Amino acid sequence: MVHGIEIDPLPHGAPSDYAELDASISGRVLTAADPEYDRGRRVWNGAIDRRPAAIVRCAHAGDVAAAIRFASRRRILTAIRGGGHNVAGTAVCDGGIVIDLSTMRRVDVDAAGRRATAQAGVLWGEIDQASQASGLATTGGIVSHTGIAGLTLGGGIGWLMREHGLTVDNLLSVEMVTADGDLCTASERENPDLFWGLRGGGGNYGVVTSFEYRLHPVGPTVLAGPIFFALEDAPAMVRFYRDWIAAAPDELCTVLNFRRAPAAPFLPTAMHGLPVVAVVAMFAGRIDQGVEVLKPLRAFGRPIIDLIEPKPYLSHQSMFDPLVPHGWHYYWKSCDTAGLTDDLIDTLVRHTEAITSPRSYTLVFHVGGAVARVDEEATAYHNRAAQHILNINAAWVADDPDPAVHIDWAKGFYADVEPSATGVYINFLGEEGDARVRAAYGGPTIERLRKLKTSYDPGNLFRLNQNIEPMAAADGGR
């Protein structure tokens, strides 16, 4: 039994079955005998080491439909891979099949209509490149090698969210293949209930193969970058920051980054490896206005270095890329908070002092603005009133002699911030169970999502995700 749904044992499938599937699609099927198999099963989080029976590399939506029908008929465990960037590693599974969208990478930009259409294997850096050629962008991830599919379906936070809303607030339509292998479109006009659920409900309802986004004039030059402070100055600085952002305009988005100082050439050598906090800022409006808005922050205290400057939006979007490469091992804990209380600030500082890995870090995103002005019931994304999203990231390399100490650091840190939690962002969850999924949505939203799940995927084929359970017959499902 999986999530309350009776299922048959999950066979790997016979080699001849996969040969038949391979012959029927435009893409190709990889099995363990294929030289590309090991590369194909790797995902961003190097801690994930799973061996699917087959990886179905799809060339278009028709291939996706064929793979879904194949998996559904044989009741084979099925994972869906877009960018493969989810920390829980749900893009790959042991023994089942992976429906791999990573080669579906087309992006089309309608500059006059300020719209972009992108296939589900596209990464945020690719849609940014295509849209910035016309001075346009939409809210996307803060790491350019994040896949658009998972980030969008979970909500989508990024540097433009306070001015233009979440990624889902800029989603105009999707093309999706259902659990029956049928192709459908969802938008405000077509299948609006499904469109509501896809904007925050994750990959529970089918496989989205194409996304259409609203674009906005952005940059191409923005005022952006980090200001670093020694951790000993953090209690006073973050208290100042808390008061300063209370009146921040929507064009300004900031993230606090608590970590050990990286051995980067722009930081004094004496600071390398010492605990620091950085305020990373981006002002999306006019540069001269941004200079005035950021002046109080830049004048505060005794920063180690101030790297805020006019820079290409594309450069800022990829700034975090070197700090979260593919192949490191990651473990996350996360929550939403209503504000930065004195106790929470002290907890952030205390656990940064105790950080166990030079690669670990904690991010505190300032939300609000346009995100909070969207009605709570307009999309499945929950807890729009949250002022901050806190993400504790334990990170280490494969040959680390004691990974458990880093995981324990993250768990202990989260235990101390949990009293401040008001919810959790679904895209920041690891494998944490049904209770945490419910915390991401709240009661009324998750019940509506369950009804939708029952309509579109009553057998829970798409369960390798932050899963929304279908309703069983006893509670009104089929």
Query: What CATH number is associated with residue 407?
Result: 3.40.462.20
Encoded amino acid at 388, one letter: H
Q: Is residue 303 part of a domain?
A: yes
Q: Is residue 437 part of a domain?
A: no
- Domain-terminating residue out of 428, 447, 469: 428
Residues 211-260 pLDDT 10s: 999 999 999 999 999 999 999 999 999 999 999 999 999 999 999 999 99
The reply to whether 233 and 376 lie within a common domain is yes
Q: Is residue 359 part of a domain?
A: yes
CA–CA gap between residue 432 and residue 179 (Å, rounded)? 25
CB neighbours of residue 313 within 10 Å:
22
2: pLDDT strictly greater than 50: no
Residue 281 β-bridge partners: 225, 254
Q: Is residue 83 part of a domain?
A: yes
Q: Is residue 152 part of a domain?
A: no
Per-residue pLDDT, 1: 34
Residues 350-396 pLDDT 10s: 999 999 999 999 999 999 999 999 999 999 999 999 999 999 999 99
The reply to whether 411 and 272 lie within a common domain is yes
The reply to whether 83 and 228 lie within a common domain is no
Could you identify the residue written with the tokens 């620091």? 276
The reply to whether 226 and 96 lie within a common domain is no
Q: What percent of the chain shows pLDDT beyond 70? A: 96
* Confidence at 10, pLDDT banded by 50, 70, 90: very low
Per-residue pLDDT, 335: 98
Residue in 108, 169, 107, 110 with CA at minimum distance from that of residue 138: 169
- Give the lowest-confidence range in 8-22, 27-41, 149-163, 430-444: 8-22
Total number of domains constituting the chain: 2
Q: Is residue 453 part of a domain?
A: no
- Domain-terminating residue out of 428, 452, 470: 428
Q: Is residue 361 part of a domain?
A: yes
- 3-class state of residue 399 by DSSP: coil
Average pLDDT in the chain: 95
Query: What CATH number is associated with residue 54?
Result: 3.30.43.10
CA–CA gap between residue 433 and residue 440 (Å, rounded)? 11
The reply to whether 412 and 279 lie within a common domain is yes
The helix, strand and coil proportions of the chain, stated in percent and rounded to the nearest 5, come to 35, 25, 45
Burial group, residue 444, by CB count within 10 angstroms (0-12, 13-18, 19+): exposed
- Domain-terminating residue out of 53, 75, 100: 100
The reply to whether 225 and 96 lie within a common domain is no
Q: Is residue 309 part of a domain?
A: yes
H-only helix segments in 8-154? 15-24, 37-41, 61-74, 124-132, 148-154
The boundaries of the domain holding residue 72 are: 15-100
